């Protein structure tokens, strides 16, 4: 079945770049997503990439997709303390289903 895997924790210093990695299993996925969840809040859509793209850049965010290896990454440039949150990778499977990873907790220290 479909599965999405992420490392559980990442710690960086303010101003550094953060790279959060994700692997997925469904090769037919058409869209892949990154969501952010701050404490007590819902899932905020950060960015997404269509499966025929290799890269997407949106301000401080860069998404890289390696479809051959089924690997997705999210790079946050100049990470700030306000970026501390849980980041979820998700793939679109089925007609409308999103399959999520367990989330990576990003901790940014001053």
> Where does this chain bind other proteins (CB under 8 A)?
4, 30-31, 35, 40-45, 48, 88, 90, 92, 94-103
Count CA atoms within 13 Å of residue 74 on its CB side.
Answer: 30
Q: Which is nearer to other proteins, 72 or 79 (CB)?
A: 72
CA distance 109 to 39: 16
Q: How far is the CB of 17 from other proteins (least distance, A)?
A: 26
Q: How far is the CB of 63 from other proteins (least distance, A)?
A: 14
Q: Which is nearer to other proteins, 44 or 81 (CB)?
A: 44
Phi first, then psi: what are they for 18, rounded to 5°? Answer: -115, 140
Q: Which is nearer to other proteins, 79 or 92 (CB)?
A: 92
Q: Which is nearer to other proteins, 70 or 88 (CB)?
A: 88
CA distance 84 to 23: 22
Find tokens 């890289």 and name the residue.
Answer: 64
Q: How far is the CB of 37 from other proteins (least distance, A)?
A: 9
Instruction: Judge contact between 6 and 104, C-beta under 8 A.
Output: yes
Residue 48 CA to its chain's centroid (Å): 9
Q: How far is the CB of 3 from other proteins (least distance, A)?
A: 9
């Amino acid at each position: 079945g479909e599965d999405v895997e992420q490392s559980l924790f990442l710690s960086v210093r303010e101003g550094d770049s953060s790279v959060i990695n994700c692997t997925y299993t469904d090769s037919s996925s058409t869209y892949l997503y990154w969501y952010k969840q701050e404490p007590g809040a819902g899932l905020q859509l950060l960015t997404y990439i269509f499966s025929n793209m290799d890269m997407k850049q949106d301000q401080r965010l860069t998404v890289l997709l390696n479809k051959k290896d089924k690997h997705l990454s999210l790079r946050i440039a100049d990470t700030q303390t306000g970026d501390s949150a849980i980041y979820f990778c998700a793939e679109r499977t089925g007609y409308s289903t999103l399959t999520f990873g367990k989330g990576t907790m990003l901790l940014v220290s001053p």
